[in-house]
C-alpha cells in the first residue's frame, strides 16, 4: 500500500491475496507431485529441519487460516469447495480492512496506493511447467469472482523473474529455495539485507525491516542451545507470517531406491533425512 510495506493496510492486502493462494496449495502440489512426492508447508522452512514448527507444537497452525479478527477460517471435515468459499469471505474481510471498497461480496474500488490488478511471475517455461502454476490459475479464477485480477506471467526464460527481482519490480513471484541443516534466516529476512539498502547483501527481496525479527534472528544464530534456538525461530516465523510476505507451499520428498538382492538393508542408515543420508554412513553398508 503506497510506499510502506510495514503498514497494517499493506499486511492486510497481502493477507487477502495470500489467503486465496494458500487454499489451493494442497490440490496443486498433489496434482504436480502426486500424493507422496511432496508435503505442504505451513512455515517457511523444510519440515524435516530440527527448527521447523511441528503439528502439535503450541501455536502451530495452517498458513493463512485465520480471518481479519484472528478467528479460524476452516473447520475439520470441510471439503475443498467449502474451504474456497470460506477463504473468499476471509479475503474480502482483509481487503476491506486494507481500505478497499467492498460491496455485495465484491471488491469495487482500491484505496490510494493500491489497485485491483496484480501480477504473479511463475517461471514455468512458458508452458505452465511449475508446481505453483495450477495454484496461480485457480487463485486467478477465485480472485476474479470477487473483483480482483491476478495476471499470470509465465516467461519462457527464467531470467525474467531474476531480472525483476534484481530491479525490484516484482509484485508476486514463485521460487524454490534450498535449505541447510542449520537454518539461515539472516539472508532472506534481516533488515540489513533489504534489496534497496546501499550496504546490504541485497538478498531480502521481501522488504521486511523489523527490529524485533532482526533481534530474534541474531539471538538464534549465536545461542548454543538447540531448544532455545527452536523457540526463537518459532517467534521469528510468526513475525514473518504476520508480515504475509511469503506463502509456504511445498517441500519435495526425496526417494532413495536400493536393491534388496544386492544390499544388506539392515546396514543402511536408519531415519534418512535430507541432511543425513546413506552416503554419510557408507562405510557401514554391506553387500549381500
pLDDT value of position 195: 80
Total domain count, the chain? 2
Q: Residue 254, SS3?
A: coil
Whether residue 260 sits in one domain with residue 177: no
Asked whether 29 and 115 are in contact (CB, 8 A), the reply is no
Provide the residue count of the chain: 288
Domain assignment of residue 113, yes or no:
yes
- Pairing, β 106-109 against β 101-103: antiparallel
What sign does the CA torsion over 231, 234, 239, 240 have? positive
pLDDT value of position 200: 61
Out of 182, 213, 242, a domain closes at 182
Domain assignment of residue 220, yes or no:
no
Whether residue 259 sits in one domain with residue 171: no
Out of 182, 208, 235, a domain closes at 182
Domain assignment of residue 264, yes or no:
yes
Domain assignment of residue 193, yes or no:
no
Whether residue 168 sits in one domain with residue 25: yes
Which of 11, 85, 237 shows the shortest CA–CA distance to 74?
Answer: 85
Domain assignment of residue 223, yes or no:
no
pLDDT means per 10 residues, the chain with 288 residues, are 91 98 97 93 91 90 96 96 98 98 96 96 95 96 98 96 91 88 87 78 87 95 91 96 96 89 94 88 94
pLDDT value of position 254: 84
Q: Residue 237, SS3?
A: helix
Whether residue 155 sits in one domain with residue 277: no
Domain assignment of residue 188, yes or no:
no
Whether residue 161 sits in one domain with residue 53: yes
C-alpha cell at 50: 530440527
Domain assignment of residue 172, yes or no:
yes
Domain assignment of residue 205, yes or no:
no
Task: Identify the domain containing residue 85 by its residue range.
Answer: 8-182
- Cell 486467478 belongs to which residue? 140
The model carries a pTM of: 0.91
Amino acid at each position: 500500500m503506497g510506499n510502506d510495506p510495514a503498514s497494517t493496510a499493506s499486511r492486510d492486502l497481502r493477507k487477502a491475496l495470500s489467503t486465496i493462494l494458500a487454499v489451493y496449495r494442497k490440490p496443486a502440489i498433489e496434482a504436480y507431485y502426486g500424493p507422496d512426492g511432496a508435503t505442504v508447508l505451513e512455515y517457511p522452512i523444510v519440515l524435516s529441519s530440527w527448527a521447523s514448527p511441528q503439528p502439535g507444537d503450541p501455536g502451530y497452525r495452517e498458513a493463512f487460516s485465520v480471518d481479519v479478527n484472528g478467528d479460524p477460517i476452516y473447520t475439520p471435515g470441510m471439503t475443498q469447495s467449502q474451504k474456497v468459499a470460506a477463504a473468499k469471505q476471509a479475503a474480502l474481510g482483509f481487503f476491506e480492512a486494507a481500505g478497499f471498497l467492498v460491496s455485495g461480496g465484491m471488491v469495487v474500488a482500491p484505496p490510494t496506493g493500491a489497485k485491483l490488478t496484480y501480477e504473479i511471475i511463475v517461471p514455468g517455461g512458458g508452458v505452465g511447467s511449475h508446481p505453483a502454476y495450477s495454484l496461480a490459475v485457480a487463485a486467478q479464477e477465485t480472485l476474479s469472482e470477487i473483483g480482483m485480477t491476478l495476471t499470470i506471467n509465465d516467461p519462457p526464460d527464467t531470467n525474467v523473474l531474476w531480472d525483476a527481482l534484481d530491479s525490484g519490480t516484482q509484485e508476486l513471484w514463485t521460487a524454490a529455495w534450498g535449505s541447510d541443516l542449520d537454518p539461515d534466516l539472516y539472508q532472506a529476512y534481516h533488515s540489513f539485507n533489504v534489496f534497496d539498502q546501499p550496504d546490504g547483501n541485497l538478498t531480502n527481496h521481501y522488504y521486511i525491516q523489523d527490529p524485533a525479527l532482526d533481534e530474534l534472528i541474531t539471538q538464534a544464530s549465536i545461542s548454543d542451545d538447540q531448544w532455545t534456538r527452536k523457540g526463537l525461530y518459532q517467534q521469528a516465523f510468526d513475525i514473518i507470517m504476520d508480515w504475509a510476505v511469503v506463502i509456504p507451499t511445498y517441500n519435495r520428498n526425496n526417494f532413495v531406491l536400493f536393491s534388496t538382492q544386492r544390499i544388506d538393508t539392515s546396514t543402511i542408515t536408519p531415519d534418512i533425512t535430507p541432511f543425513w543420508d546413506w552416503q554419510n554412513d557408507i562405510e557401514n553398508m554391506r553387500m549381500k
